[in-house]
Structure 1
């Protein structure tokens, strides 16, 4: 389940907030022109197409964030097979995810950098700042000549290229992407089909019908929790579309488009957003929403589901925390709101993470490095990354990729995630890959009921979905200052409105306070970023 309590530091995080990187923020007027990555057409060590990538063995040094599930990488089947095919050996520096930001910052500040950062915690502002300083190589030419798989994706999904192009026109990183609708529709609402059948209830088609269903769940047994979740944002995102809000997807925090005025909109101050919160307040006040919604975690919610007391929950799939299949089913369509809006806005962009892979100035073989990264984006390289080697980790059944029984039903008691992670580094990663539906068959996203839920909602997803916008260094500094205050205040007031600690008679005061926090400047900066994005 995806948490929504996002700190605004996703824009650039600690670039200006940490002493380690203070110099990078204060010497912006003296940055050097970005070094152009040498594209060596006649390099005798590089094969410009096919495998292996190089004519003689090559070693590259890369830093990667390490999930607790994955353990050491050097002995994994994935990387051994990749080296055999490509001729490139990777010396991995693995950093636990909890320490990744600190380690990354120290390396960048000291200049002791690897050839590449692979899922190395590079933020959008890192890309721009260190790209302009020449620490990260511009990838435009390398992509054009050595990344046919990535180019194909950008032709299919132009928003990817637009979303990773920095304000200076350079591309400094390859992103993580997802074309899997069950993954991108990451906030599907699932209801207990068994309870619906027992009460002769139909799946709801409007917010009011959902309210009536939840009331019926509670009336049957007072111990039931009609609607659960792991954060309040997930609940809100199931409803915004029914009020015509968040109409450009959920990748851009609090921004959408006002179709009446043809302008960017900050929807947390919109009157319709007030109605969404009033609806959630009603659920909370009547005991239809879990009273622990603000403190729940995935394990806590999973325990409640397993206990049989949860009537519904928003999630990416029906098996949180790797549990077995349940009695839950997704909505047959998006909820239709009081003004006729029928939008399912909880859809993320194909562009999932802008800084998944950067090549540094230390790399003497950027052409080979780009070919290596591109190999895993499509074709046999993508199969290797997601599924491993046929006969060892997966097999084909009815034309579908299936993990072998030793992974799915491990005799030593390993969970599915643990079994996959023994040989691979998927799926909990931010690597420069494409998350595809064809590789989801054995995970929660591949369950028939989850795929069906996504198919039901996909026709109601926004037609245009924005990725997160990129800002200049100066814009980012202001956005950090403005955004942290504004977003923190919004979350605090959401909580107070929903729990009843703040009455809705204070709504006008809430809107006025946000404006005084610098909303006009906040929107001016976002308008500039939006205009650059649209002009690409």
Structure 2
């Protein structure tokens, strides 16, 4: 009897294993990225599908952006492609929580579009098969994306996970004005004081700020000038710290070695310089307490000399045409870095904007949809909309565009409210430098010329966009958070004099005791892996 029971159990086990194997084979053969498209799909041209299909998407919606179903971009794309989206668009402020809940519950969309996926999301859910690899789909159906990645291997490096797969696509903006900090000087003040050149060294900057403080450049007879304004130094650090030879406070790569910026002698020299500005009231006393609105109010009241903003009139008032009097601060040198100016430059890559999940029924369709956004025509559509709505041609040769004004709404309000979701949130699109450059706006052209001359030749990335494995991230997560908080706090104390520079050695020791060596070890491992991916 026992022998018969044993035989039956063996048979049942064998059948179970066979059924499981069959189920696995069926599942694997049904992987979305491997499935062959049907007759409804067109591999080239438009529409993408002959008969309309619907796809569930999830993405973050900025406060300026209207309901996606009402935006001109989606209406035009639906007409062009025959692809209709069903939208799940939590507000940007709540999006991370909603996205995490979707993953945890398994109630994920077919596609993340404007998805704000973290690198941990990509690795974790890619390895689990929830996010599908994109490189095969790109090779077959996305010639625009493939071309960009082939011509820009650093982009491909930065979006390829450690297992060799691409699980998410980025938004890419190659224009220097999108990668470099814009710090402006009040041109009216320069004219009043007979200053003809923007400062190129920290000593020249100090002298100019001193003149702004003492020589009444706003001409009101009161000592109310604020030579340099900031919000917690985060907006001006990117211009001043590199002048001392350090691109940023956090981890950075120098000659392929990962170091910590806040431990370098140049960082100490930067703190001493900023402390001097603070003590002599050349740096805004409200730096560590004011809001963006308060900073802007000071500018509009004619009190501000040097400041950061996308465009000078956003701080000082005025309009595009009149603002070309305000020059950009160039990359500077200092006694600590006397030979070659450098400036911190962003990569222009916003990762995690688009991914396809294993619930997607039409992966080949959606990759073609997104591929269009990496073409010049598609980029213009998602960025600015159709001709005659937000913009029109400014010349007969159709080389320069100009904005169309809409009563009661500024450009960004109209762009987000009526045209596109790509306001305040990154989307999968490729913006070449020439697209950003071909606007007839006087200030825009002036800004491009200033950046190209004063910043672009000296731009340098402090650290590439790398992937850390989840276990690596876990090792340093607490260390990095604590270090960032401590360094931020001590920067404010050193600059304001609450902490004396005599405490520098104590600061260095504390940073080391908090585990900075472990942090650097982990980032070095990730950096080396990133380097190897290019070989």
TM range (shorter): 0.7 to 0.9
2:202 and 2:332 map into 1 onto residues whose CA distance is: 6
Q: In 2, are the aligned partners of 1:34 and 1:134 still within 8 Å (CA)?
A: no
Alignment of 1:190-201 (within 5 A): 190-201=184-195
1:307 and 1:97 map into 2 onto residues whose CA distance is: 32
1:41 and 1:461 map into 2 onto residues whose CA distance is: 48
Change (3 A) 1:81 1:193: same
TM-score, normalised via structure 2 length: 0.87
TM-score, normalised via structure 1 length: 0.86
2:518 aligns with 521
Greater CA drift, 438-447 or 450-459: 438-447
By how many angstroms is 1:42 displaced?
A: 5.3
Q: Say whether residues 1:271 and 2:265 are aligned partners.
A: yes
Change (3 A) 1:300 1:34: farther
Q: Say whether residues 1:245 and 2:243 are aligned partners.
A: no
Q: In 2, are the aligned partners of 1:254 and 1:266 still within 8 Å (CA)?
A: yes
By how many angstroms is 1:35 displaced?
A: 9.2
2:191 and 2:499 map into 1 onto residues whose CA distance is: 38
Q: Say whether residues 1:389 and 2:390 are aligned partners.
A: no
2:277 aligns with 283
Alignment of 1:2-151 (within 5 A): 37-41=32-36, 43-151=38-146
2:242 and 2:287 map into 1 onto residues whose CA distance is: 21
By how many angstroms is 1:441 displaced?
A: 6.0
Q: RMSD of aligned C-alpha atoms?
A: 2.4
By how many angstroms is 1:36 displaced?
A: 5.3
2:97 and 2:437 map into 1 onto residues whose CA distance is: 33
By how many angstroms is 1:297 displaced?
A: 2.9
Change (3 A) 1:530 1:152: same
SS of 1:74's equivalent in the other structure is helix
Change (3 A) 1:160 1:137: same
1:320 aligns with 314
Greater CA drift, 48-57 or 334-343: 334-343
Deviations 1:426-460 (A, max 9, x none): 33221111244424666999623311221123443
Q: Say whether residues 1:402 and 2:401 are aligned partners.
A: yes
1:465 and 1:136 map into 2 onto residues whose CA distance is: 30
SS of 2:234's equivalent in the other structure is helix
Change (3 A) 1:34 1:231: farther
Greater CA drift, 202-211 or 32-41: 32-41
Change (3 A) 1:392 1:331: closer
1:468 aligns with 465
2:113 and 2:315 map into 1 onto residues whose CA distance is: 26
Alignment of 1:110-509 (within 5 A): 110-185=105-180, 187-201=181-195, 202-221=197-216, 222-246=223-247, 254-259=250-255, 263-320=257-314, 324-325=319-320, 326=323, 329-331=326-328, 333-338=330-335, 339-351=337-349, 353-398=350-395, 399-405=398-404, 408=405, 410-411=406-407, 413-421=408-416, 422-437=418-433, 438-439=435-436, 447-462=444-459, 466-509=463-506
Gaps of 5+ in 1: 1-31
1:207 and 1:381 map into 2 onto residues whose CA distance is: 44
1:124 and 1:359 map into 2 onto residues whose CA distance is: 15
2:462 and 2:484 map into 1 onto residues whose CA distance is: 21
1:443 and 1:518 map into 2 onto residues whose CA distance is: 51
By how many angstroms is 1:33 displaced?
A: 10
Deviations 1:472-510 (A, max 9, x none): 010011221111011111101101101111101111111
2:231 and 2:369 map into 1 onto residues whose CA distance is: 38
Change (3 A) 1:35 1:449: farther
Structure index of larger Rg: 2
SS of 1:448's equivalent in the other structure is helix
Gaps of 5+ in 2: 1-26, 217-222
Q: Say whether residues 1:534 and 2:535 are aligned partners.
A: no
Change (3 A) 1:35 1:509: farther
1:230 and 1:319 map into 2 onto residues whose CA distance is: 18
